[in-house]
Amino acid sequence: MAELTFSLQGTDKNTKARAGMVVTDHGTIPTPIFMPVGTVGSVKAVNQQQLEELVRARIILGNTYHLYLRPGTAILEAAGGLHQFMNWQRPLLTDSGGYQVFSLAANRKISEEGVVFQSHIDGSRHLFTPESVMGIQRSIGADIIMAFDECPPWPSEYAYTKTSMELTHRWVKRCMEYLAENPALYGYTQNLFPIVQGGTFADLRKASSEYVASLGAVGNAIGGLSVGEPEEMMYEYTGLCCNILPADKPRYLMGVGTPWNLLECISLGVDMFDCVMPTRNGRNGMLFTTQGVINIRNKKWADDFNAIDSGLPTEQQLPYTKAYLRHLFVADELLALELASLQNLIFYLWLVSQAREKIVSGEFAGWKQEMVPVLKQRL
């Protein structure tokens, strides 16, 4: 058992971009990295072997709220934790469930103690506290676990955002105290990341970043962005947080985003990302490729017999044409969902690995400037 470590392999001289290495008990994670979202212990439409071999994922996510409701902690503990349950032996991260409680659950009531909420599955009532959420994450057994926080919606009033941030700060102390008193279950280290909040108010973001930095955690997360605010605002507050959070610890921007969001935020100093976008949008026929964005349902692809994405390395290209994938979508074939999800995830992991190479070689700034308009274009 060893605490998570982070080392820098390179920095870009023209931006704040960094290439690093996160080391956990389940393996190393080169950064910048994108983490596919496996909310209930499954990345939708993609199996674990594909994630390892085709996507080349180094770490994936599970979600505390969803896994607590189904299959429940008793099953996960009997299985030996989520790694064993889903047969994934690389690193795992679990989100605390705070965002889901505030976005999915009905009739929630927030207090100093925690949050009472109704399950979106059957309406049953539950209480999440910082302590219970840490206990659930102990049962799940991820390598990186998130502090329980409140993620206020955007836009929110200043007074509400400040009160919410202060509550999140008090909760993280309770998370840390619980973990100090309750050892990990499965013989490897679980590493807590506190979360910066503060909405889109510069003084609150600054205060929260300084508070989180003072906790001395092995890594830190930036929450409460990409919740509806304009992109430029997201970049502004991401940059503000990165300038304060310690440079010798990984920085995780939660729930972001498009391929161009990733490149812009890498240039601000972010190391880790997650988002449902590649799989969710893929299932709806939107492909992210090295040439730009494709709506594969469009008739223009009906007789396009070129590879889905010829710009990817040959060994990672899916051996199917755009015409065939469009046919699968039009015919409502399940394989369409799998192939589109795979394409998007392969592309996302390729993109961050390219960013890493460019940072190390000193070419990142120029490469990013060329790539962003290409990635944004609709084909």
Give every CB contact of residue 63 below 8 A, 6+ residues apart in sequence.
37, 39, 40, 94, 95, 97, 100
112-121, 300-309, 361-370: the lowest-pLDDT one: 112-121
Write the DSSP symbol of residue 321: B
Q: What is the CA radius of gyration of the chain?
A: 20
- The average pLDDT across 60-86 equals 98
* Annotated catalytic residue within 12, 149, 271, 274: 274
In this prediction, residue 148 has a pLDDT band, given cuts at 50, 70 and 90, of: very high
Catalytic pick from 95, 149, 271, 309?
95
User: What confidence tens digit (pLDDT) does each residue in 174-221 have?
Assistant: 999 999 999 999 999 999 999 999 999 999 999 999 999 999 999 999
DSSP H helices, 201-290, are 202-214, 231-244, 259-266, 277-283
> Which pLDDT score, from 0 to 100, does residue 102 have?
76
Percent of the chain with pLDDT over 90: 96
- DSSP letters along 209-229, please? HHHHHHTT-SSEEE-S-SSSS
Tell me the C-alpha distance between 247 and 26, whole Å.
23
pLDDT grade for 304, boundaries at 50, 70 and 90 = very high
Percentage of the chain lying above the pLDDT 70 cut: 100
Query: What is the mean predicted confidence (pLDDT) over 150-155?
Result: 90
**Chain segment 330-351, per-residue pLDDT in tens:** 999 999 999 999 999 999 999 9
Residue 176 confidence (pLDDT): 98
pTM of the predicted protein model: 0.97
When pLDDT is averaged across residues 268-289 and rounded to a whole number, the result is 98
- Given pLDDT bands bounded at 50, 70 and 90, which one contains residue 98? confident
CA distances from 83 to 28, 79, 86 (A): 16, 9, 6
Q: Is the pLDDT at 298 greater than 80, yes or no?
A: yes
Residue 151 CB neighbours (<10 A): 23
How far, in Å, are 124, 203, 308, 314 from residue 324 at the CA level?
A: 44, 52, 9, 18
Please indicate whether residue 309 is annotated as part of the active site. Answer: no
Mean pLDDT for all residues in the chain: 97
Helices assigned H by DSSP within the chain: 48-50, 64-69, 73-79, 82-86, 98-103, 130-140, 158-181, 202-214, 231-244, 259-266, 277-283, 322-330, 334-361, 364-376
**Confidence (pLDDT) at 253:** 98
Task: Decide if 274 is catalytic.
Answer: yes
